[in-house]
Amino acid sequence: MTRLGVMLSGRGSNFTAIADAIRDGRLPGVEVGVVLSNREGAGGVDAARSLGLPVRVIPSAGVERVEHDRLMVRALREAGVDLVCLAGYKRVLTAEFVAAYPEAILNIHPSLLPAFAGLGVQGAALEYGVKVAGCTVHFVDEAVDHGVIVLQRTVEVADDDTPESLSARILREEHRAYPEAIRRVTSGEYRVVGRRYVRIPPLPGKKS
Ligand code: GRF
């Protein structure tokens, strides 16, 4: 079994999408080892508790970042986590945390990276005038929104989109993208070549 450690700070809809995929048998060999949050009031914490999953809240307020990350890594280790999934975890990981789980931390970001890293990106993409937006699931490295891309899903931008309507459409794609990315990574059928995530065997008809 691959044990996931899902880390979240907010409403937790991506976590719920992952939990649904496990329940529906779309992620064979995968289970949630622990849901970790830095915020007791997070919607995702309530969702995880109501699913009967192990939850730990380690408040970050007033705690040094390095110290907080150490506590988080310890909790992940205690839960036997193999793959960490950031799902709306609103903190940047320390280098020490990243080094504790090499090529085993995923994040989901609501833009087509490397465009629009950071926060408020759906509104920023709309304002910039992009015609295609989307989401990215990537490995986490020491730089923000930067690691190797596992997969991306796109949505078309409509002329009458608002930041809210575009965010909602991207979120629907996030809920498809995250379980699929977890499936691909936990299958082990890939290698990382430079910055490229390449499936093994490569998809037919795609010359590299
Ligand atoms: C998502 O838009 C995700 O891409 C970003 O934070 C948001 C989390 O939403 N990293 P939720 O808590 O999963 O609903």
Three-state DSSP class for residue 163: helix
Atom of ligand 1 nearest to the CA of 122: 2
Q: What is the pLDDT along the chain (208 residues), one digit of tens a residue?
A: 999 999 999 999 999 999 999 999 999 999 999 999 999 999 999 999 999 999 999 999 999 999 999 999 999 999 999 999 999 999 999 999 999 999 999 999 999 999 999 999 999 999 999 999 999 999 999 999 999 999 999 999 999 999 999 999 999 999 999 999 999 999 999 999 999 999 998 667 655 5
Three-state DSSP class for residue 131: coil
For residue 179 and ligand 1, the question of a CB distance below 6 A is answered with no
Exposure on the CB side of residue 9, measured as CA atoms within 13 A = 11
For residue 110 and ligand 1, the question of a CB distance below 6 A is answered with yes
Ligand 1 centroid to residue 204 C-alpha, Å:
33
Ligand 1 centroid to residue 111 C-alpha, Å:
11
Atom of ligand 1 nearest to the CA of 8: 12
Ligand 1 centroid to residue 168 C-alpha, Å:
11
Q: What is the model's pLDDT at position 203?
A: 67
For residue 86 and ligand 1, the question of a CB distance below 6 A is answered with no
| Residue found by looking up tokens 């590299």 in the block | 208
Q: Which of 34, 101, 25 is nearest to 69 (CA)?
A: 101
Whether cis (ω within 30° of 0) applies to the bond prior to 201 is: yes
Has 68 been annotated as catalytic? no
Q: What is the model's pLDDT at position 204?
A: 75
For residue 10 and ligand 1, the question of a CB distance below 6 A is answered with yes
Q: How far apart are the first and last CA of the chain?
A: 32
- The b-or-e profile of 48-65 (16+ CB within 10 A means b, else e) is beebebebbebebeeeee
